[in-house]
C-alpha cells in the first residue's frame, strides 16, 4: 500500500470538478489541491508566463509527499506539461486523458473542443487526437468568457446561457457527435452546454476521464493505492480563502472552509 497523497492543481476553482470525481472514486486516498486564484486565469497568458506559473505550482507540490500529480488545468496541461522537467513522481494532464476518451467515444470521427485561448492556440487536443486517429476531424473553439463566469458563480443563470451560446453556436453546424470540455471549469457549466449543443452529442468531462485514468494506474500496480482508511483532503489557494471556500463547498457538496489555507505562491 502507498499512503502518499495525490496532488492536484489548477488555476482556480475548475480543478474541483476533477477533485469531486477523484474523491468519490478513491475515498481512501489523501489529496492536496492547489488553486492559483491570485494569478487566474491561465488561459489568456503567454506560454512563457504559464511555464513560470506551473514551475511554481510544481515546486509547491514538491513540499508534499506526493505519489502523483494531476495537472487539472487544460492550459497548463497543453502548454507546460510537454516542456516540464522530470520529477520523482509521475505527472498527468487532462488534455491527453480527455483527447484519448474522445477518440474512443466518437462514432463519426467529428470532435468538438471547447477550451481556453492558449490551449486552442497550442493545438494540443488536435495533435493528441491525430496520434490516435489521423482521420478524425477536430473543431476547436476558444472560450475566453467561460472561466470568469464560473469563478464568479455564474453557472446556470442567464449570463451562463449567453456565454455558452456564444461559443457552442459555432459547433452546431459541424455535425460533431463528441464534445470535449477542454477546461476543468467547463463541466460546472455542463447542463447549459448540453442543452446548447443537443442531447445527442457526447460530452467528455475531464474530471470523469481523469478519475477513470487514475483508477487504471492504481489497479495496474504501477502505483499502489492507499490502505483502507478515511482519506484526508487539504486545499490551498493563492488569494481569498473565503471566496474559494464558499464556491468550493457548494461544488463539492460539503463544507471545506476549515480545510482551505492561503499561501504565497511567489515563494515557490
Residues 128 and 183 in one domain: yes
The backbone torsions φ and ψ at residue 23, rounded to the nearest 5 degrees and listed phi first, read: -65, -40
pLDDT at 265: 97
Residue 260, all three cell numbers: 482551505
pLDDT tens string for the chain (268 positions)?
999 999 999 999 999 999 999 999 999 999 999 999 999 999 999 999 999 999 999 999 999 999 999 999 999 999 999 998 889 999 999 999 999 999 999 999 999 999 999 999 999 999 999 999 999 999 999 999 999 999 999 999 999 999 999 999 999 999 999 999 999 999 999 999 999 999 999 999 999 999 999 999 999 999 999 998 889 999 999 999 999 999 999 999 999 999 999 999 999 9
Backbone angles phi, psi at 75, to 5 degrees: -65, -45
Question: How many domains would you assign to the chain?
Answer: 2
Task: Provide the residue range defining the domain that includes 221.
Answer: 5-93+208-267
The whole-model pTM stands at 0.93
85, with CB counted inside 10 A (0-12, 13-18, 19+), is exposed
Helix, strand, or coil (residue 1): coil
User: Is 184 in the same domain as 169?
Assistant: yes
- pLDDT of 185 reads 95
State residue 229's pLDDT score: 83
Active-site annotation, residues: 73, 183
Return the CATH number at 220. 3.40.50.1860
80 and 212 in a single domain? The answer is yes
Are 23 and 89 found together in one domain? yes
Amino acid at each position: 500500500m502507498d499512503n502518499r497523497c495525490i496532488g492536484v492543481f489548477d488555476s482556480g476553482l475548475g480543478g474541483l470538478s476533477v477533485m469531486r470525481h477523484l474523491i468519490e472514486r478513491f475515498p481512501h486516498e489523501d489529496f492536496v489541491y492547489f488553486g492559483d486564484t491570485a494569478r487566474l486565469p491561465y488561459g489568456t497568458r503567454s506560454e512563457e508566463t504559464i511555464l513560470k506559473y506551473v514551475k511554481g505550482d510544481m515546486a509547491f507540490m514538491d513540499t508534499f509527499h506526493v505519489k502523483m500529480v494531476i495537472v487539472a488545468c487544460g492550459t497548463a496541461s497543453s502548454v507546460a506539461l510537454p516542456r516540464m522537467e522530470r520529477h520523482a513522481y509521475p505527472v498527468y494532464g487532462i488534455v491527453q486523458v480527455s483527447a484519448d476518451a474522445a477518440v474512443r467515444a466518437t462514432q463519426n470521427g467529428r470532435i468538438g473542443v471547447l477550451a481556453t485561448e492558449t490551449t486552442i492556440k497550442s493545438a494540443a487536443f488536435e495533435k493528441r487526437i491525430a496520434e490516435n486517429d489521423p482521420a478524425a476531424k477536430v473543431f476547436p473553439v476558444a472560450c475566453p468568457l467561460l472561466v470568469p463566469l464560473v469563478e464568479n458563480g455564474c453557472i446556470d443563470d442567464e449570463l451562463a446561457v449567453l456565454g455558452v451560446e456564444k461559443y457552442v453556436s459555432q459547433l452546431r453546424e459541424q455535425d460533431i457527435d463528441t464534445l470535449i470540455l477542454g477546461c476543468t471549469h467547463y463541466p460546472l457549466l455542463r447542463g447549459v452546454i448540453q442543452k446548447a449543443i443537443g442531447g445527442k452529442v457526447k460530452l467528455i468531462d475531464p474530471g470523469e476521464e481523469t478519475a477513470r485514468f487514475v483508477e487504471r494506474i492504481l489497479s495496474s500496480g504501477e502505483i499502489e493505492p492507499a490502505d483502507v482508511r478515511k482519506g484526508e483532503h487539504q486545499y490551498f489557494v493563492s488569494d481569498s480563502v473565503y471566496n474559494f471556500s464558499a464556491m468550493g463547498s457548494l461544488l463539492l457538496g460539503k463544507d471545506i472552509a476549515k480545510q482551505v489555507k492561503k499561501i504565497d505562491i511567489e515563494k515557490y
